[in-house]
Amino acid sequence: MTMSTSSPSCATVTLKELVEASDHNRHSLQQALTAMMTASMQDLPTQISINQVASVANIPFHQFQLDSRALAASNVFVLLKSHTPNCQKSRDYLYQAANNAAFILSEIDPVALLTTANMPTDAPLALTTDTLQTSVQQQMIALPCPILYVPDIRDFLGDLIQARLQYQQPTTLPTVVAVTGTNGKTTISQLVAQLTQLTGMSSAVMGTAGNGRLGSLVQASHTTGDALAVQQFLYQMGQEGAELLALEASSHGLDQQRLQGMPVSVAIYTNLSRDHLDYHADMTEYAAAKAKLFDRVHFPDLTHAIINIDDEYAQVMLDTAHASDLIVWTYSLDATKMATFVATDIKPSLQGVEITLRSNFSDTDISDTDISGDKGGNITIVSPLLGRFNVANLLAAIAATVAIGSDVDSDFNSDIERIAAAVPKLQGAIGRMQRVPSAEGCFIVDYAHTPDALSQVLASLKTHCKGQLWAVFGCGGDRDAGKRPLMAQAGLAGADQVILTADNPRTEDPNAILQDMQAGMSAEQYQRTHIEPARQTAIEYAVSQASADDIIVIAGKGHETYQEINHVRYDFDDSIVLQNALKQAGRA
């Protein structure tokens, strides 16, 4: 993620000054600071001077920092809990930061942290002796800077960071559209950015495929960055004049409140299928994390919720959105459903799809000041995007674009016509149903890395396939192992021929991952399966074996330009490897 070279925070500021300069209705920093002081005075050892604690509000600092390694002098270090707690590491971070920080805000109880870190690994976590407690208190007093224990720091950290960014150089922030769901986040966010830009707004995106203005994306390391990175990027886009930011809201990011303080106006839900169960306990917890995006308690700027009612978990999102009194619009590919946006008469081809868009609005769908004029009707739309599931993605993007542009003076029919006229100019996200040119055969690179996503990709392409449909894919290492046989079965159910290969094995043996994927396979399925651990060799094999009428899908990595093996990321881009294989085979 790139940042502006001119820092708006070159001068120092205090927490008290931030509170006084901030919009209290927006940031609630007064309440946050009061809570910080109250919690700190209650939880820090009594030997630490109350005056020292209170004076934190008046200690000058430059910026907030979440990484102790990047901490500069006079920054504020925010020590957050890890999903996989390691007391010794957290203690090291604290001591490392204390030498440079103006002060430290800790989500972790520093007394318990220092106590635990000094104890044997098999000892209980509670304070055990007066001697140990006294030792910890002495360590606290000896630290070069004060520490405030703020257990609810994530509730206002984003607001606090943005207030700091705005202090010297106030900037108008973009309107934010956030997309959550297992599949479709990248495509929808990019379609929203393209449609709004094509219809008159300056737009940017943030997510898996990169961050930045359209046409100049910088590769991101996470779908949703940490709170500091997210707020810095939002501010930078405001400085560059972006009027809209379309971003992906991952379940990790929502659960960890990395998007706190983002001015999300429109929230979109796509679907939920098995993924990230190495992080979430079960699908119910996974859905609950996604539902946070539709809760005004977390995102007070919300006005619209756009929800795919074809998904089995849609009701969870609908209930949360209605409880927050949002304007709720739905979308569907089922012509029998009375969704707000419905695609009927879907006519797919390898050049794209033609659909009839039917819109249905009731009095409860539109507020008195949203959209004037006739509401509803049919319009024909021609899209260059491949795949039936991309029709659903398009509906969500159209709905969001209407929501962003809706006001008392807008006419719904004119808005839809203007948006429909822009649809043929859309470009799919890199690595999402991306067709790689070939003299014969049809070769597709796609990011599908869940059983549901792979099934949808294969089902969409099967109807166009005159020959055989091939699927080349694997599963990532150090992730939900229960997904592996489900991926194989999804591929075998949808494709005629399957090639199992490595994805990002990370620290696992690729052969062990492939063995997991083969669990439960029948003799007939084995006959249609070729196993090749080396991904490049697997792609070359598919190119050599496929006939002129076949369709070949290289799935799982999509836009990624690397393959991660034993903590090392090697250059590997499916589309480039595929292009080279086609050239070598004389099929480019």
Q: Which residue has the higher pLDDT, 99 or 41?
A: 99
- Do the annotations mark residue 224 as ligand-binding? yes
State the average pLDDT over residues 439-450. 94
- pLDDT value of residue 51: 40
Q: Is 187 assigned to a binding site?
A: yes
pLDDT higher at 162 or 372: 162
Phi, psi (5° rounding) for residue 512? -70, -40
The DSSP-derived string for 243-258 is SEEEEE--HHHHHTTT
Which of the four pLDDT bands, split at 50, 70 and 90, describes residue 104? very high
pLDDT tens string 171-202: 999 999 999 998 999 999 999 999 999 999 99
**Are residues 308 and 179 located together in one domain of the fold?**
yes
Would you say residue 251 lies in a domain?
yes
Cα of first residue to Cα of last residue in the chain, in angstroms, is: 34
Q: Is 463 annotated as a binding residue?
A: no
Of 120, 91, 99, 254, nearest to 180 (Cα)?
254
Predicted confidence at residue 4, as pLDDT, reads 41
99 is in an annotated binding site: no
Distance CA 562, CA 387 (A): 26
Domain membership of residue 348 (yes or no) is no
Domain finish residue from 159, 179, 194: 159
Q: What is the three-state SS of 23-63?
A: CHHHHCHHHHHHHHHHHHHHHCCCCCCHHHHHHHHHCCECC
Q: Is 250 annotated as a binding residue?
A: yes
Question: Is 393 known to sit in a ligand binding site?
Answer: no
In the prediction, which pLDDT does 118 show?
Answer: 54
Q: Looking at residue 3, what is its pLDDT? A: 41
506 assigned to a ligand binding site: yes
Q: Which two tokens stand for residue 499?
A: 């090639």
Q: Of how many residues is the chain composed?
A: 588
**Residue 263 within any structural domain of the chain:** yes
Which residue range forms the structural domain that includes residue 536? Answer: 434-585
181 annotated as belonging to a binding site for a ligand: yes
The CATH number of whichever domain residue 535 belongs to comes to: 3.90.190.20
pLDDT of residue 121: 46
Q: Does 68 carry a binding-site annotation?
A: yes
pLDDT at 128: 47
Co-location of 274 and 300 in the same domain: yes
Task: Please tell me the predicted confidence (pLDDT) of residue 20.
Answer: 80
* Higher per-residue pLDDT: 429 or 410: 429
Nearest-angstrom CA–CA distance, 269 and 434: 23
Position 5 in a domain: no
127 and 107 inside one domain = yes
Mean of per-residue pLDDT scores for the chain: 86
Residue 361 lies in a domain: no
- Confirm whether 395 is domain-assigned: yes
Q: Is residue 266 part of a domain?
A: yes
| 256 in a labelled binding site | yes
User: Which stretch, 30-34, 115-119, 471-475, has highest mean pLDDT?
Assistant: 471-475
pLDDT computed for residue 49 by the predictor: 39
Is 405 known to sit in a ligand binding site?
no
Residue-level pLDDT at 26: 54
Strand ordering across the sheet containing 103-106: 64-65, 76-79, 103-106, 147-149
Q: Taking each helix axis as running N to C, give the angle between helix 185-198 and helix 412-422, from 0 to 180 degrees, rounded to the nearest 10.
A: 110
Among 145-154, 394-403, 410-419, 475-484, where is mean pLDDT lowest?
Answer: 410-419
Last residue of one domain, picked from the residues 113, 134, 159: 159
In this structure, are 557 and 440 located in the same domain? yes
Q: Kindly report, residue by residue over 3-51, the tens digit of the pLDDT.
A: 443 444 568 999 888 888 876 545 556 666 665 555 554 544 443 433 4
Task: Tell whether 258 is in a known binding site.
Answer: yes
- Does the annotation list 503 as a binding residue? yes
Return phi, psi of residue 434, to 5°: -85, 120
Q: What is the pLDDT of residue 393?
A: 97
Compute the average pLDDT of residues 380-404. Answer: 95
> Which of the residue ranges 220-224, 378-382, 414-418 would you say has the lowest mean pLDDT?
220-224
Residues 44-54 as b/e (b if ≥16 CB within 10 A, e otherwise) read beeebeeeebe
Q: Are residues 99 and 177 in the same domain?
A: no
- Residue 341: both structure tokens together: 């946006």
**145 and 212 co-located in one domain:** no
> Do 188 and 135 belong together in one domain?
no
Q: Lowest-pLDDT range, 53-62, 254-263, 301-310?
A: 53-62
pLDDT tens sequence across 477-528: 999 999 999 999 999 999 999 999 999 999 999 999 999 999 999 999 999 9
Q: Are residues 403 and 491 in the same domain?
A: no
Q: Report if residue 444 sits inside a domain.
A: yes
| H or E, element range at 409 | strand 407-411
Both 453 and 510 in one domain: the answer is yes
- Total domains, the chain: 3
- Residue range 55-65: mean pLDDT, rounded: 90
135 assigned ligand-binding residue? no
Q: Which residues of 212-223 are buried (b: 16+ CB within 10 A; e: fewer)?
A: bbbeebeebebb
CATH code of 240's domain? 3.40.1190.10
Q: Say what the pLDDT of residue 499 is.
A: 98
Of residues 27 and 138, the one with the higher pLDDT is: 138
- 230 and 120 fall within a common domain: no
Q: What is the mean pLDDT of residues 71-100?
A: 88
Residues 134 and 191 in one domain: no
**Does 223 carry a binding-site annotation?**
yes
**Res 177: pLDDT:** 98
Q: What is the pLDDT of residue 368?
A: 34
Residue 243 annotated in ligand binding: no
Instruction: Give DSSP secondary structure letters for 514-563.
Output: HHHHTTT--HHHHHTEEE-SSHHHHHHHHHHH--TT-EEEEES-TT--EE
- The answer to whether residues 81 and 182 belong to one domain is no
Distances (CA, A) of 133 to 52, 126, 140, 244: 20, 10, 11, 52
pLDDT tens per residue across span 326-385: 999 999 999 999 999 999 999 988 889 999 999 987 644 444 333 333 456 899 999 999
pLDDT in tens, 280-315: 568 889 999 999 999 999 999 999 999 999 999 999
